[in-house]
A = this chain, B = another copy of it.
Amino acid sequence: MLAPKTQGPLAGLVVIDLTRVLAGPYCTMTLGDLGARVVKVEMPGQGDDARHIGPFVEGADGEQTSGYFFSVNRNKESIALDLKLDRDKAVLEKLLDSADVLVENYSPGTMDRLGYGWDMLHARWPRLILASISGFGQTGPYRTLPAYDMVVQAMGGVLSLTGDAPNRPTRVGVSIGDIAAGMFGVIGIQAALLERARSHEGKHVDVAMLDSQVALLENALVRYQVDGVVPGPIGSRHPSITPFGVFRTGEGHIVLAAGNDRLFTRLLDILGLERLSTDPRFIDNAARCAHPDELRLEIELALAAKSTPEWLKIFTAAGVPCGPMNDVAAVMKDPQVRARHMLMELPVSNDRSLTIAGSPIKFQGEILGDAQPAPRLDQHRDALLTELGLL
């Protein structure tokens, strides 16, 4: 039997992780951040597909490590098992004897073909929770179709709302199609764990990437039904609040979010635009939402007088929500990001470290324990087999 970890809110839990690439690994990384012990089962030889996606870091020993894999697999142990071989299946089953949760992101039907469909799992390990994260879910007409991040961003409607113009499709710059599904997977698993404490039975959590995109649509469905107009991309504006977006300054850009009349009046005062406060085009949020371009022109003309850092100081002092547009380099230097321990430096090879994003789930007064870097393929085989009494 595997001993669970003893630190963190999910201490005591063992997760067996059959997932690849992003949605599943993001889910199990989050469980590991919270204290679960995560054992990643990978295909011998090649391992998780993400190990073959760049950028690659070469260590002094010549070993190549995928920075992509490294970013989303911290705090996991790796063992290589070929689930088509009886010998390796026996090892997986030993692992499942210790497990609270099994997470997989194969195409629906694959687990059945491997002999680990939900009915079999539930009969043999009634307390085990199975979480399946897939493109379209375990049910419905598209269930067996393949899906990747971009496919579900596009099919779920988020892409139709993002960008400058309808004919310039723009991807969300991070893989929100995968990550949202991974996060909803964590939510479903934890809910099933809470239920299990009462029922003493596991459940099958079924999270689809497409469903997860639809769940992010916020008020777009309702806007379409109420206004009768299909919402399209609107650049850097907010659909229902104005002014709320990115504006050009004398040098660079600034985000301004004057979400109510009080903040709008303050914004006008600061910009020397008091004359607009009684202008019927801008008299309330509804009027401003109907005239966003006219308002932008007035604001940007006024903002041209100073640079972004100067305006940030002024708006911050006045309590108007504002911020810089940080690129990744600026994020890594940001004093708040650093103060919140949102950057985590971990060794990627015998002579180099890389900084990755930390966990955003903080419990006040506690500092997370030391994190372990993403494992090499099969790194923990001997230790795991020994612990299971198989070596």
Contact = CB atoms under 8 A, between A and B. Distances in A.
B339 A215 contact: no
A218 to B, nearest CB: 5
A87 to B, nearest CB: 27
A221 B355 CA distance: 7
Interface in A156-200: 156-164, 168-176, 179-181, 183-184, 186-188, 190-195, 197-198
30 contacts: A9-B192, A9-B195, A12-B198, A53-B285, A54-B240, A55-B223, A57-B226, A67-B223, A148-B244, A150-B236, A151-B255, A169-B235, A170-B235, A176-B176, A179-B218, A180-B183, A181-B360, A187-B190, A192-B363, A194-B194, A204-B364, A208-B340, A211-B360, A221-B332, A221-B343, A222-B355, A224-B328, A225-B354, A225-B355, A230-B328
Contacts of A361: 184, 187-188, 191, 205, 207
Contacts of A47: none
Nearest to A159: B325
A268 interface: no
B222 A55 contact: yes
A375 interface: no
B140 A335 contact: yes
Interface string A237-268: 11011001110000001010101100000000
A362 B209 CA distance: 12
A45 to B, nearest CB: 15
Interface stretch (A131-139, A273-281, A382-390): A131-139
A9 B197 CA distance: 10
A325 B330 CA distance: 33
A296 to B, nearest CB: 12
How many copies the complex holds: the figure is 2
A142 interface: yes
Given A203-B363, A210-B337, A217-B328, A168 B164 contact: yes
Contacts of A295: none
Given A53-B240, A154-B325, A224-B328, 11 more contacts: A10-B191, A11-B198, A71-B218, A137-B336, A146-B320, A157-B327, A169-B253, A175-B218, A206-B363, A214-B342, A232-B327
